Amino acid sequence: MSGRGQVRFEDIVKMHGEFAALKGVTFEIEPGEFFALLGPSGSGKSTTLRILAGLDAPSAGRVYIDGQDITTADARDRDIAMVFQSYALYPHMTVYENIAFPLEMARMSKAEIVPAVQEAARKVAIEHLLQRKPGQLSGGQQQRCALARAIVRKARLFLLDEPLSNLDAKLRLETRTELKKLQRSLGVTAVYVTHDQEEAMTLADRMAVFMAGEIQQVGRPADVFARPNSIDVAAFIGSPPMNLIPARYKDGGIEIAGHRLETSLKESGERDVVVGIRPGAVRIAAGGIPAVVELVEDLGDTAILDLDCSGISIRARVSDGDVPREGTSLSITARAPDIHLFDATTRRRL
């Protein structure tokens, strides 16, 4: 199936009256890729998916699948399968009938449909539930049924709109892994919408980060995590979020709470910047910025420290072995490559 399901968005704009839900979105998805659209609610990621599916029409711009302009094509003619956040199962049909529905619509014979449905149900492990109605299934089982309905047709594109958000935490982790395996084994192009950066990080080959109707960054999750190209992306990706501290840059270094830290940016001159340091990159070492431990959140294998550095609050992640007590005074620092610098006015990476 590889070679199918290449997607290209060109300057897609979506207006809702005066409000621009999408302000010129451009990106490309390679065949066979697991691509995540990540962003907070209202950032335009679901709108993007709906435009790709043909459920909404863009106000401007063009959408291509496999090189073919499908901007105005009906949803029926796009050969796209989708898993809805609400699952959107047909409540009056059994699981079997739900999965068989897209095949019946494609006018396949019963002899072809029965094994295809069995096969899809087996892949998501619900073959024992085929005679049940959706109302008699648990949330996780409904989710699998929706997945089976989407994969049974072997469409060229597989869209998932926050498919895990209605599951409980444990099931979400399990399903996440299975989803990735399923996509690999099918070799199909998958587009995955989520507001959960952890899901995007773990599942996606590449991802696009949406903010306020625009794509902020496209790239491999590890790259986006390592080099966020704006303050907003930096704040959104990673848990706990990156420390963002307004500071003064001067000749290759920054000054926080009266203490100078060297950065990898070697530029002479002086300017206002926002310094980003991930909690995991904060090191406890002598001779650094003096700090007082205000609060310790013990997570078992690691702990999050809320530190007060003369009025600036910084969070640090430390491993379980050397957790300081609340109220302890210590000193912190960070290596130059771990210090991200952003322009305070344009909010872009320096």
Q: Report the interface residues with other proteins, using CB under 8 A.
A: 53-55, 74-76, 78, 80-82, 84, 86, 88-92, 101-102, 105-106, 149, 153
341 CB-side CA count, 13 A: 22
**Shortest reach from residue 83's CB to other proteins, in Å:** 9
Residue 34 or 101: the one with the smaller Cβ distance to other proteins is 101
Do 150 and 158 touch, CB atoms closer than 8 A? yes
Which three-class secondary structure state does DSSP give residue 314? strand
Place of tokens 């704040």: 235
- Give the strand order in the sheet containing 80-83: 80-83, 157-161, 189-194, 34-38, 206-211, 214-219
Do 78 and 54 touch, CB atoms closer than 8 A? yes
Alpha helices in 128-217 (DSSP H): 139-151, 169-186, 197-203
Residue 149 or 340: the one with the smaller Cβ distance to other proteins is 149
Residue 73 or 323: the one with the smaller Cβ distance to other proteins is 73
**Shortest reach from residue 337's CB to other proteins, in Å:** 46
Which three-class secondary structure state does DSSP give residue 337? helix
Residue 37 or 332: the one with the smaller Cβ distance to other proteins is 37
**Shortest reach from residue 338's CB to other proteins, in Å:** 44
Which two structure tokens, joined as six digits, stand for 313? 């609050």
**Shortest reach from residue 40's CB to other proteins, in Å:** 22
Residue 88 or 212: the one with the smaller Cβ distance to other proteins is 88
Identity of residue 38: L
Rounded to whole angstroms, the Cα distance separating 137 from 314 reads 46
**What one-character-per-residue DSSP string does 280-304 give?**
GG-EEEEEEEEEEEEEEEE-SSEEE
151 CB-side CA count, 13 A: 25
Residue 45 or 315: the one with the smaller Cβ distance to other proteins is 45
**Shortest reach from residue 46's CB to other proteins, in Å:** 12
Identity of residue 270: E
Residue 291 backbone dihedrals phi, psi, to 5 degrees: -145, 155
Residue 91 or 287: the one with the smaller Cβ distance to other proteins is 91
**Shortest reach from residue 74's CB to other proteins, in Å:** 8
**Shortest reach from residue 242's CB to other proteins, in Å:** 36
**Shortest reach from residue 158's CB to other proteins, in Å:** 11
Residue 102 or 290: the one with the smaller Cβ distance to other proteins is 102
Rounded to whole angstroms, the Cα distance separating 323 from 305 reads 9
